[in-house]
Amino acid sequence: MQAVILVGGEGTRLRPLTSTVPKPVMPLVDRPFMAYMLEWLRGHGVEDVVFSMGYLSTAVRNVLGDGEAYGLRLRYVEEPEPRGTAGALKFAESLLDERFFMLNGDVLTDMDLTAQLAQHEATGARGTLALVPVDDPSQYGLVRLEDDNAVREFVEKPSSDQIDTNLISAGAYILERGVVDLIAPDQNVSIEREIWPQLVGGGLYGFAHPGAYWLDIGTPERYLQGTFDIIEGAVKTEVTERLGSDYVAIADGVTPEGRVVPPAVVERGCSVAAGAQVGSLVVLGDGVSIGADARIERSVVMQGAEIGESCVLRDCVVAAGVKIGARTQVTGGAVLGEGVTVGADNILTRGVRVFPHVEIPDGAIRF
């Protein structure tokens, strides 16, 4: 089976994390984000993956390579300019099989694609949309189904009196190649707004995944939530086995002097000084140093970051190479981009975003 993954976006909602690293290969716990999707697809019989790309595409190729590390064949096509979700698929037309998965490249999920494919084959569908239930359907476009799971209609941003289902599209589709013939070449075309309506009543079906995990990690808040869900085992991934029954993974050769509270991941070359506490719900990337008496909770600290003594990090993301001076607090959804330097005795909170390589002097910010 083949899959086409759309990864052409710039990841603007995740900046400053994506200012220097494209979202598909941004670190998520212990591997590039896209690795989770590739492992999930491989588990459902996918052998060939085509990436439809745009922003920082060379960096994605350099990290993922030809797919040998994932037991898959990976190929890449680059749009000359943004062409929308359907236009991107059309641009990859020469590589497509007669039947394939099409996926948005920003979702963390463990949906049962094998079951979705079985329904697709049984109904003789031209397209089958993965659907997931959500708590607040008013924020999404609803998908209404007939009794046989054929799509009856789409309702965008429904009012309260229009909500009679909680199923939304999950960005994972099974398509027959003939659907691509409906897409005009060399144009910006939306598959959601322009192609699906043409297929209603003509072979478009939905498949509900009511018990599946599904999360769009397109914001720092959701990035953190996805991290926590992975290390707590709320979503089925290969990380769960590494964490084991105590939900702690500390790399060989690392002996923390401070305390590590599960669930937590501490990678190679990390140091945790005496009196410091790491966790719960923390990931430390390779070579991170945590100073004496610092406290890190509900946070991601990426490769090579240096956290000074008596710092407090809570509900934040610290990118690679950041240096944080003593007694500084980074909390409340703050995000520090790659190579940022923050002096001592600062307070950064309330979702503040500091872009790459900015330098903040001692005591300059007390939000």
Query: Which band of pLDDT confidence, cut at 50, 70 and 90, is reported for residue 366?
Result: confident
37-59 mean pLDDT: 88
Residue type at 70 in one-letter notation: Y
Tell me the three state secondary structure of residue 197. Answer: helix
pLDDT at 136: 79
Q: Are strands 204-208 and 127-133 parallel, antiparallel or unpaired?
A: parallel
Q: Is 157 a catalytic residue?
A: yes
pLDDT at 236: 86
Tell me the three state secondary structure of residue 129. Answer: strand
User: Number of C-alpha atoms within 13 angstroms, CB side, residue 46?
Assistant: 30
8 A C-beta contact, residue 102 and residue 89: yes
Q: How far is Cα of residue 306 from the mean position of the Cα atoms in its chain? A: 25
Going from N- to C-terminal start, the domains of the chain cover 2-216, 244-360
Q: pLDDT: is 56 or 220 the higher one?
A: 220
Measured distance CA(143)–CA(168) in Å, rounded: 6
8 A C-beta contact, residue 344 and residue 328: yes
pLDDT at 105: 87
Measured distance CA(60)–CA(302) in Å, rounded: 18
Measured distance CA(287)–CA(305) in Å, rounded: 7
Q: Which residue of the set 90, 157, 236, 323 is catalytic?
A: 157
Residue type at 48 in one-letter notation: D
Q: Comparing C-alpha atoms, which of 216, 215, 124, 225 is closest to residue 174? A: 124
pLDDT at 158: 64
Q: pLDDT: is 31 or 164 the higher one?
A: 31
139-166 mean pLDDT: 81
8 A C-beta contact, residue 134 and residue 112: no
Mind giving me the DSSP string for 151-194?
A: EEEEEES--GGG-S--EEEEEEEEEEGGGGGGSPTTS---IIII
Q: pLDDT: is 218 or 289 the higher one?
A: 289
pLDDT digits (tens, 9 = 90+) for 93-105: 999 999 999 999 8
Tell me the three state secondary structure of residue 349. Answer: coil
The sign of the CA dihedral 357, 30, 216, 179 is positive
Measured distance CA(131)–CA(93) in Å, rounded: 25
Homologous superfamily of the 2-216 domain (CATH): Spore Coat Polysaccharide Biosynthesis Protein SpsA; Chain A (3.90.550.10)
Q: Comparing C-alpha atoms, which of 277, 271, 269, 274 is closest to residue 298? A: 277
Q: Are strands 151-156 and 141-145 parallel, antiparallel or unpaired?
A: antiparallel
Homologous superfamily of the 244-360 domain (CATH): Hexapeptide repeat proteins (2.160.10.10)
Rounded percentage of the chain residues whose pLDDT exceeds 90: 71
Residue type at 1 in one-letter notation: M
pLDDT digits (tens, 9 = 90+) for 137-149: 777 778 889 999 9
Q: How far is Cα of residue 253 from the mean position of the Cα atoms in its chain? A: 30
pLDDT at 263: 96
Measured distance CA(289)–CA(286) in Å, rounded: 9
Query: Which band of pLDDT confidence, cut at 50, 70 and 90, is reported for residue 217?
Result: confident
Rounded percentage of the chain residues whose pLDDT exceeds 70: 96
The residues that bridge with 169 in the sheet, in sequence order, are: 131
What does pLDDT average to over the chain?
92
8 A C-beta contact, residue 206 and residue 173: no
Q: Which 8-state DSSP code applies to residue 228?
A: H
Measured distance CA(119)–CA(109) in Å, rounded: 19
Measured distance CA(297)–CA(278) in Å, rounded: 6
291-311 mean pLDDT: 98
Residues across the chain: 367
